[in-house]
Structure 1
């Protein structure tokens, strides 16, 4: 499970873009959130926001996450699933060899793939090794 406000290797950075309704205090802004996010507070500190320029020619300028596609729970958590294995490597210690796989996760690009241990992936996600 991942949370939006927890910093971690798989935590999404931004969702949106959303329209700014106005400034609320020295360093906070109120956003116009869609109806699906109405249970969340709509005022954010400036450090949690990112400037978004509307560029119709290049929609890939900002790789934002669509909040409708990730299945948010009431407590701001969502389930990450591995999509595919990109690479494999063996790390050798003094006494043993540990196999690692580079995994692309749902809601993330190939550049954000992480290295995970084989035993963890086989126990939690056995469907990755069925073929």
Structure 2
């Protein structure tokens, strides 16, 4: 027998179904109570997500094309995530991340992305 478990967002990369032999009864502890963070919503019910820094770069080969990627640390409602994003989109939307980080500046400047 297996049960799906609700996991916090920072554990979203884990499979959420566990065998009952792996589960134990939870005993409540006051130290485990978390206060929800307030998130300021805009009129269209969206909220501001800001990139913090660039952690790494990579080039993915797709159908004979080189696609430059950057691993971006995003701050989303108290949780920091590190997904891979397209470098040209990040340069267009957040050029300040590249001007302050000379390690990644111009590394893939010879590549042009065309759709």
TM-score, normalised via structure 2 length: 0.51
Cα distance between partner residues in 1 of 2:49 and 2:85? 14
Deviations 1:16-65 (A, max 9, x none): xxxxxxxxxxxxxxxxxxxxxxxxxxxxxxxxxxxxx5532x67xx6x75
Is 1:119 the counterpart of 2:88 in the alignment? yes
Q: Secondary structure at the match of 2:30?
A: coil
Number of the residue aligned with 2:30: 55
Q: Shift in Å at residue 96 of structure 1?
A: 2.0
Higher RCO (C-alpha 8 Å, min separation 6): 1
Aligned residues: 73
Q: Which runs of 5+ in 2 are unaligned?
A: 1-7, 10-27, 101-115
Q: Cα–Cα, structure 1 residues 54 and 91, in superposed 2: closer, same or farther, change >3 Å?
A: same
Number of the residue aligned with 1:102: 71
RMSD: 2.7
Cα distance between partner residues in 2 of 1:94 and 1:127? 31
TM-score, normalised via structure 1 length: 0.46
**Runs of 4+ in structure 1 displaced over 3 angstroms?**
none
Matching of residues 60-99 of structure 1 within 5 Å: 66-67=37-38, 70-99=39-68
Q: Which runs of 5+ in 1 are unaligned?
A: 1-11, 14-52
Rg larger in structure: 2
Q: Cα–Cα, structure 1 residues 55 and 104, in superposed 2: closer, same or farther, change >3 Å?
A: farther
Q: Cα–Cα, structure 1 residues 65 and 82, in superposed 2: closer, same or farther, change >3 Å?
A: farther
Cα distance between partner residues in 1 of 2:45 and 2:93? 22
